[in-house]
Amino acid sequence: MTRITKFSFFFLFFSLFFIVLSADAQSGWDQVKANDNRAARTLFSAVLEKDSMDEQALKGMIYLSEIEQDNLSFNKYVSRLLKKSDDEILFLVFEDFYTGKADDIIKKTSLSEKARMSSKVGKAGELEHDRKFDEARKMRRELFPQLKWSFIGPFKNIAGSGHVTEHPIEKESFSENKTYRNPFGIDLRWVKPAFITDDGRIDPEDYSMQWGERSVYYANAFFDMPQAKRIQVRIAREAPMKIWLDDFLVFENKDEVSWDTEIVTLDLPAGTHRLLVKLSSAVSPPKSYRFLEFNPSGGYYGRYDFGGMFDYGDLFGGGDYGGGGDHSFCIRFTDETGAPVNISAAASGNYSRGNYKATASEQSAIPVLRERVNKNPDDLFGWYMLCRAALDSRHSQQAEEWLVAAWRKQPNLVFMKYLCARVYARNGKVEKTYDMLNDIDQEKTPIFGDLYKKFQDIDLSTDPDRYLDGLKLLNSVTPSNYSVIQGFISYYNTRGLQQEKEEYLKKMTERFPEYKETLEWELTRDENRPDKEQTDKEREKYELESVQNTKKRFVTYDYTEAIQHFKEKANTKKVLALYNELIEIIPSRTFYRKEKAEFLYAEGRFDDALKELENVLAINPYSMDAIEQMGDIWYDRVKNNKENQQKALAYYHQAKALGSGSYSLDEKIEKIEGLVTYKKLFTTKNFDDVLADPGWKSRYQDEESIVLMYTRDLILTPDRNVEVYQQFMVKVLNDNGAKKWTEYNFGFLGNLNTVKVKKANGTEFTPDQRGGYVVIKNLSPGDIIMLDGVYKWSGYEEQLDTAFSMTHYVAFDVPIWYKKFEVAIPEGRYLNTMTHLTENKYTKTAHDKFDFYRWEYSDVPKAENEEAILDSYDPYPTVSISTLPDWSRVVEWYQQKTYSKFDLTYDVREALDSIIRPNMSAQEKVDAVYNYLTKEIKYSYVPFLQSGYTPKDPELTLSGRIGDCKDVATLMIAMLRSLNIESYYTLVKTNAFNHQDMLPALSFDHVVACVILDGEKRFYDLTTDFYPSYVLTENDLGAYGLLIKDGEKDLFLLPDDDLNEKKNKVVYEIDAKLGSNGTLDISANTVMPGIAGGSMREVFAAGISELEKRNYLSSMLGAGNYQNLSLTDYQLKNTLAISEPLSASYQLKAEEYSDEVVGLLICPLPWLSSLQSSSVISSKSRRNRLDVSQICYAGPMTQKVTLRMPKGYKLMRVPQNVSIDNKFGRYELKFKLNSDGSLSAEKYQQFKVNKIEPKDFAEFKTFYLQLLKQDRMKIAIQQL
């Protein structure tokens, strides 16, 4: 080391030394602002060495502990800060991590009632834990009103729309005997539980039928108010809620918030009052990305398991994630200071209808923190607390706007980038999350979550050295993070470094004693591995400890272990005593009552077990497992007793009606009733019946095989299932037929019951079979294949209130001699029917409480494909059924599915503001939005039917710059509605799906936007980058659509924009010069609007080579009219300006264009687009509909030609004008001889339809041949 280098080293060392000595907390924050968190940590640590309670340094270390995910340090510094500070906002933000005594907070009168509430609840839990049950109950009675609640539900709640869907319950007086049928077909009554939890948390699902997350529940209670008083209703909830007092709506909020933050203030008169609460589980939040999440445990409220009851830290402290499915709530009545108001439960419902002036407010840290940072934008810790408070209270959407605005003012500040990344990740905007993190210097400002996510991509088994390097980097940032410790353990285990592992774990135990117990377990992992069997002695030791613990504390785990111990000892008395003690402490919990009943049942004490289950039903009469267990007990009470079996059966059916029950419930019912089959309700021919009819023998001499019979019997059962019984019989007629059926997948028949082959000599055998795949060896002409199958499924569409729909294909790819399709539905239920390519003729009968619809056919021709069919389904005759009379329910369903999708967030508003200018017309605004979205949002194909039908929120589509059809349509509609432009979804069954009409069902595969301007519907498909706004794409043209708008009941056909002259008329201007040697030089200009221009843009944007582009143009221009045409040059204009027509100019040369005949030059007119002959047109007749676009260009077109004659030649005769106009199209030719001898010719061609029905084919053929003849017209040119 040189002298200069040594001097520099010591200078730097002592400089840093003196900086540390003179450090204050502000210096640390200055380093944070300078994007050097490592230096900031050094300075903050130095300050805390001198004063461990320095507030600014503690705040700095809290922030650094989060960004570095240092759990231990975070909890330590938070606890110090809360002990040091009297700032209530600090406590509200960090109370979950407080590790002091609850009494210290309760006695802190400087804090508000809200701030002390969690500690009071926690104190009650602590008293219960210490078995001071009377004191705990007394404290809870003081905190929470002990009302007599009634509950009802579940009701339908599609995508959270139940919050705004009005139910009669909201308008009617309370009647506990009234029955309400929910959309699942279940009759519900109000439940008044015999016991309700006293801990303040009310969950209707504990006392009602459960039906998954997306449901609506109501809770009702009456109470007496001793005197008139201004009160505050303090609300804790996790689901969207409405509250009525005396039938008057006083509160509603669809947004999720943290617990105990909302307050409704009103003046309440003395007397009896009715309280009605509605809870609707919210729509699931967007997928969040958790690698930046930081939620260290260790707070006071997480220390105890309070009897297995509610986690009060979650109840009042707030949770990080909205799950959307928790219907629990808590309502407290207080005065304006937060002190409880004296109310009492009332049994009577005599009250006066209210008309209250209610004011809702939110009591949280967020408004105060926003005010603080607005006054002092440099208060970084204030911004940090605002971010944490918003995330904890589920206000991350709002926080994103605030934090992004702050970051834009300091775009290089890593602190702000990190906060923005946190909210972006929570809000599901992963692209923006990474944008914020990408250019951060992780040497100076390491972000543990980002580093760890990258580390997780390293495979320890294949790249151990790189894995170790990654661990060392993480260890240099946060050695206390347990993920790092686990990483080292995995590394040592994989590498077989046992000694190094033990040394590392001992070092970590000394350094971080908080992990002592866990790390010691790791040291003895082999002795404590999960798969190691416990000895009886070890097991008994743990159980005896639990038995002793039940006398010292109340933890439900102790009771379950103690109960297990006494069960093993066959000490029934002790078991029941412990169950009774549990039930006495928490009487509202049905779980332990059902366990007790199960034990009594196993002991043969049937009456006692039934009595306990009756107690369960007194709390929740919709408990399916309790009802099913009662059936089990009655069944076993006296073996083979028919009366008891019938009682058991009644319970089983009751449980079945409420849901699926246990996996064995159907078997239990079948055990009593026998195998219930609906097949016997159908009158259906069997194989022998059909074989007895010889009519087919002379009918199919030229066929390879014939389906002698295909029957399908389908029934919609009362228990919301579908059962299908099918028979299928094939007769092989020749060797080709044998080849066809030798190996065949008969899976469409369901589970095959019968599979047999009857040989021509009368013998039968069973072929090889695997599932529905059948292999028939030595199959020969004359053999008959016979199969029958059955399949069952839950075929009702729950999205559409148990509606059912299906399409049955009548024909097969071979002829069918006898065909039957029969449907049975519960008697009186509506059935809609429709057919395609077959007569809708059925017979209807009724018996056995079912209505039967029967379609029978004989001699069904095989479905045959032809050229130019609309789609592969079109040749097949079908029968469609639906239990919906019209499409209104589907409209309502999609409105509910998307009801919350149109609220604009700040980023969508900003994007909209960037494209909308003052004085724009409504149409100009629509076009601006369309052009912006088709350019900026990349279309990503996701099948509409396979994506839950639910679009992304508009801001997620905008943020990711990618979306499928429903995503981009949602974004457009949201933008336009914010501009007061009427717009809606249109569900589409595209031409790519099929072209057939359909009955009400969820049979759509696409979504477009509909805009209504001046009373006219205009449709916009945003899945293209190349088509102008005024046309749809090819797959939409003439397709069936459903407008999602109030009052819509019917399908309609989307416009055929390709046939629209105003939207899609192509114009060619052709200047052609004929040479005397037969060559033709062409200069042409083309204007291609609409679909024509969009289609070409799409081809050219596909990344094809220049040669491929030229080949494409050459094949398109002059096809069928030139034998030797070459493209010498071309130019395109407006390739990116999709609102403008695509323009093109071409230079072409044709060789041997004219023929010389007896001194005359004979040539066709030089059209660049001509009709062509087709084998389709050569056919005499047609079975299927014809797609005109497959045989010619069907769009409207004008071609203007100037044909210049060779020098010394003139036109022999000017052709006559032509005009053809009928229902299929219009065709015109006009000619004019110019003064310079050139010929001007103009052709106009327009097809009026693009689908030709078979009955119209002959007439269309005549029309087409007329046009073809005129297109091929030739002229004669003579020499002067």
Distance from the Cα of residue 41 to its chain's centroid: 44
- Helix (H) / strand (E) element for 267: namely strand 262-268
pLDDT at position 4 is: 39
Q: What is the CATH number of domain 889-1055?
A: 3.10.620.30
Query: Residue 110 — very low, low, confident or very high, per pLDDT cuts 50/70/90?
Result: confident
Residue of 364 and 584 predicted with greater confidence:
584
Q: What is the CATH number of domain 1062-1279?
A: 2.60.120.1130
Query: Residue 943 — very low, low, confident or very high, per pLDDT cuts 50/70/90?
Result: low
pLDDT tens across 892-901, in order? 999 999 999 9
In this structure, what DSSP letter does residue 768 have?
E
C-alpha–C-alpha distance, residues 952 and 958, integer Å: 10
C-alpha–C-alpha distance, residues 392 and 562, integer Å: 38
The answer to whether domain 144-285+322-363 has CATH 2.60.120 is yes
pLDDT tens across 247-277, in order? 999 999 988 776 678 999 999 999 999 999 9
Residue of 392 and 287 predicted with greater confidence:
392
**Exposed, middle or buried, 1174 (CB in 10 Å: 0-12/13-18/19+)?**
middle
C-alpha–C-alpha distance, residues 1202 and 841, integer Å: 59
SS3 1153: coil
Structure tokens at 324: 């959307």
Structure tokens at 552: 């010292």
pLDDT at position 657 is: 86
pLDDT at position 1205 is: 97
User: What value does the mean pLDDT take over residues 638-650?
Assistant: 90
Q: Is pLDDT above 60 for 607?
A: yes
pLDDT at position 537 is: 72
Please enumerate in sequence order all residues whose Cβ is within 8 A of that of 961, keeping only pairs 6 or more positions apart, or say none: 431, 936, 937, 938
User: Is the separation of the CB atoms in 963 and 431 below 8 Å?
Assistant: no
User: Is the separation of the CB atoms in 1187 and 1260 below 8 Å?
Assistant: no
pLDDT tens across 800-855, in order? 878 999 999 999 999 999 999 999 999 999 999 999 999 999 999 999 999 999 99
Helix axes 380-392, 365-375, angle to 10 degrees: 160
Please give the C-alpha separations between residue 433 and each of 395, 417, 906, in angstroms, as whole numbers.
Answer: 17, 9, 17
Please give the C-alpha separations between residue 1011 and each of 285, 342, 1091, in angstroms, as whole numbers.
Answer: 29, 56, 19
Please give the C-alpha separations between residue 652 and each of 615, 620, 649, 671, in angstroms, as whole numbers.
Answer: 18, 17, 5, 11
Q: Is pLDDT above 50 for 17?
A: no
pLDDT tens across 111-164, in order? 888 888 888 988 999 999 999 999 999 999 999 999 999 999 999 998 899 999
User: What value does the mean pLDDT take over residues 211-230?
Assistant: 90
SS3 883: coil
Q: Is pLDDT above 60 for 505?
A: yes
Structure tokens at 109: 């009168």
Query: Residue 941 — very low, low, confident or very high, per pLDDT cuts 50/70/90?
Result: confident
Please enumerate in sequence order all residues whose Cβ is within 8 A of that of 42, keeping only pairs 6 or more positions apart, or say none: 20, 23
Q: Is pLDDT above 50 for 18?
A: no
* Domain 683-885: CATH class, spelled out: mainly beta
- Helix (H) / strand (E) element for 217: namely strand 215-225
Neighbours of 1017 (CB within 10 A): 17
Give all strands (DSSP E) within 551-641, no chain letters.
Answer: none
Structure tokens at 1112: 């494409």
pLDDT tens across 733-791, in order? 999 999 999 999 999 999 999 999 999 999 999 999 999 999 999 999 999 999 999 99
34-43, 48-57, 264-273, 941-950: least confident range: 941-950
User: What value does the mean pLDDT take over residues 176-181?
Assistant: 93
Query: Residue 347 — very low, low, confident or very high, per pLDDT cuts 50/70/90?
Result: confident
pLDDT at position 1078 is: 92
Give residue 371's identity as a one-letter amino acid code. E
pLDDT at position 567 is: 94
pLDDT tens across 1141-1187, in order? 999 999 999 999 999 998 899 999 999 999 999 999 999 999 999 99
C-alpha–C-alpha distance, residues 653 and 668, integer Å: 10
Query: Residue 183 — very low, low, confident or very high, per pLDDT cuts 50/70/90?
Result: confident
Neighbours of 337 (CB within 10 A): 8
For the chain, give the longest Cα–Cα distance.
128
User: What value does the mean pLDDT take over residues 860-887?
Assistant: 96
pLDDT at position 109 is: 83
Please enumerate in sequence order all residues whose Cβ is within 8 A of that of 429, keeping only pairs 6 or more positions apart, or say none: 955, 956, 959, 960
List the one residue out of 29, 61, 67 whose CA is nearest residue 481: 67
pLDDT at position 94 is: 92
How confident is the prediction for the chain on average, in pLDDT? 91
C-alpha–C-alpha distance, residues 1070 and 1202, integer Å: 6
Give residue 36's identity as a one-letter amino acid code. D
Query: Residue 797 — very low, low, confident or very high, per pLDDT cuts 50/70/90?
Result: low
Structure tokens at 1002: 């969820």
pLDDT tens across 1097-1120, in order? 999 998 899 999 999 999 899 877
pLDDT at position 11 is: 41
Rounded to 5 degrees, φ, ψ at 278 are: -120, 130
pLDDT tens across 702-736, in order? 999 999 999 999 999 987 889 999 999 999 999 99
Please enumerate in sequence order all residues whose Cβ is within 8 A of that of 928, keeping only pairs 6 or more positions apart, or say none: 915, 916, 920
pLDDT at position 533 is: 56
pLDDT tens across 694-704, in order? 888 888 889 99
- Kindly report whether the peptide bond that precedes residue 1166 is cis, defined as omega within 30 degrees of 0: no
Query: Residue 628 — very low, low, confident or very high, per pLDDT cuts 50/70/90?
Result: very high
In this structure, what DSSP letter does residue 93 have?
H
- What is the separation, in whole angstroms, between the first and last Cα of the chain? 105
Domain range summary for the chain, segments of one domain joined by +:
144-285+322-363, 458-516, 683-885, 889-1055, 1062-1279
Query: Residue 212 — very low, low, confident or very high, per pLDDT cuts 50/70/90?
Result: low
In this structure, what DSSP letter does residue 202 have?
B
- Helix (H) / strand (E) element for 361: namely strand 359-362
User: What value does the mean pLDDT take over residues 480-494?
Assistant: 95
Neighbours of 781 (CB within 10 A): 15
Residue of 589 and 114 predicted with greater confidence:
589
pLDDT tens across 286-314, in order? 777 889 998 886 433 322 333 333 333 33
Q: Is pLDDT above 60 for 13?
A: no
Give residue 1049's identity as a one-letter amino acid code. K
Rounded to 5 degrees, φ, ψ at 1276 are: -115, 135
Same CATH fold, 889-1055 and 144-285+322-363?
no
C-alpha–C-alpha distance, residues 1090 and 1060, integer Å: 9
pLDDT tens across 777-787, in order? 999 999 999 99
SS3 1266: helix
pLDDT at position 439 is: 92
104-108, 1172-1176, 1223-1227: least confident range: 104-108
State the pairing for strand pair 722-732/248-253.
unpaired
Q: Is pLDDT above 50 for 1190?
A: yes
